[in-house]
Chain A
Amino acid sequence: MDHSAKVKEFVVENFLFGDGESLKDDTSFMEEGIIDSTGILELVFFLEETFGFSVEDDELVPDNMDSLQNISRFINRKLNANSASEA
């Protein structure tokens, strides 16, 4: 399963309780009320656990977290940065 599919599965399971029909890649979690302001921490915890990086406080912004698309870009950036620093 690729990154986006994993994230989507998590969001559908945990925030939409299985009902992912209307979730598009660019659906805004905040605008649609899919993830409330306290629920965002669950998402961060999942990202950190699943992808093995840590999310800094100042990365917790809508540009990184507010849609599947944004998260996917964020994950790629983080993983690339990690592998770059390891190399």
Chain B
Amino acid sequence: MCGIAGICRLDGPGHVSLNLIKSMTGFLCHRGPDETGIYLDDNIGLGHARLSIIDLSTGSQPVHNEDKSLWIVYNGEVFNYPELKEDLQGKGHRFYTTSDTEVLLHLYEEQGPDCLAQLNGQFAVAIWDAKKKELFLARDRVGIRPLYYTISNNTLIFASEIKSIFANKNISRRIDPIAMDQIFTFWTTLTPRTGFKDIYELPPGHYLKTSNGKVTFRKYWDIPLYRRSEQSSLAPQKICRQVQDLLCDAVRIRLRADVPVGCYLSGGLDSSGAAALVVRNFNKDVRTFGIRFNSDGFDEGEYQSMMVRHLNVNHTDLTATNEQIGASLPNCLWHCEKPLLRAGPVPLFMLSDVVRRSGYKVVITGEGADEIFGGYNIFREAKVRRFLSKYPNSQRRAELIGRLYPYIFRNPRLKCTLQSFFARGLDKIDDPLFSHFIRWDSTSRIKTFFSQELTAAIGQYDGYKQVRQSLPAAYEQADGLTRAQYLEMSIFLSNYLLSSQGDRVAMAHSVEIRLPFLDFRVIDFMARIPSKWKILGLNEKHILKKSFEGILPEEITCRPKNPYRAPIKQSLMNEKTAEYTKDALSEKSLKKAGLFDAKKVTRLLQKAQKLDELSEIDSMALVGILSSQIIHNQFVQDFPARPGNTISLNLIVDRRSQASRTMS
């Protein structure tokens, strides 16, 4: 796992600065602390910060092909590289390393962009064709690895993280008002937008090519939506058997590494299942890592300990105290690079530090299972609401709602209000966004804290409209669960779960996460399974639970789902953190950033100080506003909040003309 950065002149040869590429790469050293390398010619500069995992001795990047006409910098893994390599060797390709990087380069040489269809992995890649003067950038199917870019003055600037792009002093750093509207509706931006104006992400499943000064984008993969006639007619037992085989193979190829691979183990179904597959089939001595909380309602320690005993593994847990969560939020945000409406990313940021200190660079995690197998409460909520819409006054039907969110509605007094809360919008069951209205409408309430300037800058922008317009034709025919899964995967998965709660917080401490549930074979297979098997009645992830029955204790497969969450108010407003929270949310700071209405935020703070517990929305408002302020401080006002590393190069290929070199 690594960081990549580059500058490509779209208007023909000229000066490409070594110092600038060095500085951009210096901002990515947490992603790749082991080595750095640079390629330069008069059209392009490529930088690479390496975390050595495969081919420790000769895998330094940039890597080239036989005649040195193609150069690659690459972040990620292609897990099926040994099989692909064999084939390429058969076709006469010669290799000078044993890395997957070189395999990917030769496959591109052989097939061009079509090679992407054969890759099973998680990657962001840049390949420079020095003969044709063409740059190729691509990102894995679901967007596990990040890649950002901007185009300015006929120059394409790209990097694994936005801070590296901001190393260019002539790139302006502004919060994008539309992005703020999106984050405070969907919990994240809609691709390709980022939190910053004119900085974009290369969307998951896409590639970009530059040729003769033009930049073109292509989608090579989309979240599969199969028609009923294309769905599997297999019996549930057979589905489970195939899921077992697929997951086992997905785990097997994700253990390919020249360093030891650990596992995250929370005590939930997904990470327990993944860890059990590793222990039973491949490595009974695997190290596992998990988070504990000292707040009731968040900790899963009982189940975690049960799994540790069951698997008999060497487990390390980290107790994330409220003080530590609050104190780590600013550091965590430096890596997430966008406002958060949840505190969940912070303990994962802390956990990767423990993993790294334990001598591990790679962990297998359970992310993605909820999206693929139908685990989220929002899926069940939509199902219940559809059911309720047939007889809106039925108390029996309404009572089902209470079963969905026991952790929010702990107070039995709320039973009656539940019905009216979730009964909103029952007349919209045919709307394509039906499943997500309650979440998005509730979150949108926080926008009442936006300042007048921000509200004016957002204007008439309508995020729902944008989502509706982005839906593929096949969505129309899809059933309720499939639709909700599609929305969750296309909006939330890459841009929140795999980034703020995935890649970024792990790579902050140079740890690579590998996600067997997001193997594209698993995604495709499950996309063909009828929804009725995914959530049987109200039993979420039915197929996955059944598939894990033989390898997990019944207490784990039958336990109620407890979504991963971290305390907000207690973390941000305890004795140790109250000061910086107050400072970031002071009238002066708020007015300076200009994003929020200072008077309203002050009232929210007063309320938070008074109450023991904040409501869901007030909690989200608190962390959302605070994190926006911190992001503004770190990236707009005081950039760089932390200087990039000064790098010493392990490898440099400088093919610039003499004139350009003297300019450095």
Q: Would you call B445 an interface residue if the criterion is a C-beta within 8 Å of the partner chain's C-beta atoms?
A: yes
Q: Which residues of B contact A60 (CB under 8 A)?
A: 413-417
Q: Would you call A26 an interface residue if the criterion is a C-beta within 8 Å of the partner chain's C-beta atoms?
A: no
Q: Decide if A61 touches B414 in the complex (CB within 8 Å).
A: no
SS class, residues of chain A in contact with chain B: loop
Q: Which residues of A contact B444 (CB under 8 A)?
A: 33
Q: Decide if A61 touches B448 in the complex (CB within 8 Å).
A: no
CA distance A61 to B548 in the complex (A): 42
CA distance A29 to B663 in the complex (A): 65
Stretch of B118-126, B134-142, B296-304, B598-606 with 4 or more beta carbons under 8 angstroms from chain A = B598-606
Q: Decide if B421 touches A30 in the complex (CB within 8 Å).
A: yes
Q: Decide if A33 touches B600 in the complex (CB within 8 Å).
A: no
Proximity bits, B422-451, A CB within 8 Å = 1, else 0? 101000000000000000011011001100
Q: Which residues of A contact B617 (CB under 8 A)?
A: 36, 39
CA distance A83 to B601 in the complex (A): 40
Q: Decide if A17 touches B604 in the complex (CB within 8 Å).
A: yes
Knowing A13-B603, A18-B600, A60-B414, the reply to whether A36 touches B420 (Cβ < 8 A) is no
Proximity bits, A49-73, B CB within 8 Å = 1, else 0? 0000000011011100110000000
Q: Would you call A19 an interface residue if the criterion is a C-beta within 8 Å of the partner chain's C-beta atoms?
A: yes
Q: Decide if B448 touches A65 in the complex (CB within 8 Å).
A: no
Q: How far is the CB of A4 from chain B (nearest CB, A)?
A: 21
Task: Report the nearest A residue to B411, measured CB to CB.
Answer: A41
Q: Which residues of B contact A34 (CB under 8 A)?
A: 445
Number of A interface residues, CB 8 Å?
Answer: 25
Q: Which residues of B contact A58 (CB under 8 A)?
A: 416
Q: Decide if B442 touches A57 in the complex (CB within 8 Å).
A: no
Q: Which residues of B contact A39 (CB under 8 A)?
A: 615-618
Q: Decide if A57 touches B615 in the complex (CB within 8 Å).
A: no
Proximity bits, B589-609, A CB within 8 Å = 1, else 0? 000000001011101100100
Q: Would you call B412 an interface residue if the criterion is a C-beta within 8 Å of the partner chain's C-beta atoms?
A: yes
CA distance A30 to B418 in the complex (A): 10
Interface bin, chain B: 20 to 34
Q: Decide if B448 touches A17 in the complex (CB within 8 Å).
A: yes
Interface residues of B in 336-351 (CB under 8 A from A): none
Q: Decide if A19 touches B615 in the complex (CB within 8 Å).
A: no
Task: Report the nearest A residue to B415, measured CB to CB.
Answer: A57
Q: Which of B408, B422, B441, B448 contacts A16 (CB 8 A)?
A: B448
Q: Would you call A85 an interface residue if the criterion is a C-beta within 8 Å of the partner chain's C-beta atoms?
A: no
CA distance A57 to B449 in the complex (A): 32
Q: Which residues of B contact A33 (CB under 8 A)?
A: 441-442, 444-445
CA distance A16 to B618 in the complex (A): 11
Q: Decide if B442 touches A36 in the complex (CB within 8 Å).
A: yes
Task: Name, among B597, B601, B603, the residue most crowded by chain A CB atoms within 10 Å (CB to CB).
Answer: B603
Knowing A14-B607, A18-B599, A42-B611, the reply to whether A37 touches B417 (Cβ < 8 A) is yes
Interface residues of A in 8-24 (CB under 8 A from B): 13-14, 16-19
Q: Which residues of A contact B413 (CB under 8 A)?
A: 41, 44, 57, 60
CA distance A55 to B451 in the complex (A): 37
Q: Which residues of A contact B611 (CB under 8 A)?
A: 42
Q: Which of A14, A19, A30, A42 contacts B420 (CB 8 A)?
A: A30
Task: Report the nearest A residue to B620, measured CB to CB.
Answer: A36
Task: Name, among A36, A39, A61, the residue most crowded by chain B CB atoms within 10 Å (CB to CB).
Answer: A36
Q: Decide if A57 touches B416 in the complex (CB within 8 Å).
A: yes
Proximity bits, B518-542, A CB within 8 Å = 1, else 0? 0000000000000000000000000
CA distance A30 to B441 in the complex (A): 11
Q: Which residues of A contact B412 (CB under 8 A)?
A: 57
Q: How far is the CB of A58 from chain B (nearest CB, A)?
A: 7
Q: How far is the CB of A20 from chain B (nearest CB, A)?
A: 11
CA distance A34 to B444 in the complex (A): 11
Q: How far is the CB of B497 from chain A (nearest CB, A)?
A: 23
Q: Decide if A30 touches B424 in the complex (CB within 8 Å).
A: yes
CA distance A24 to B600 in the complex (A): 20
Q: Would you call B409 an interface residue if the criterion is a C-beta within 8 Å of the partner chain's C-beta atoms?
A: yes
Q: Which of A19, A36, A41, A44 contacts B448 (CB 8 A)?
A: A19
Those 10 A-B pairs whose CB atoms lie nearest each other, nearest first: A17-B600, A39-B615, A37-B421, A17-B603, A38-B615, A62-B420, A36-B617, A33-B445, A60-B416, A61-B416
Given A39-B618, A42-B611, 20 more pairs with CB closer than 8 A? A13-B603, A14-B607, A17-B597, A18-B599, A18-B603, A30-B417, A30-B420, A33-B441, A33-B444, A36-B617, A37-B408, A37-B418, A37-B422, A41-B411, A42-B615, A57-B412, A57-B413, A60-B417, A61-B417, A62-B420
8 residue pairs bridging A and B, Cβ less than 8 Å apart: A14-B607, A19-B597, A33-B442, A36-B442, A36-B615, A37-B414, A38-B616, A39-B616
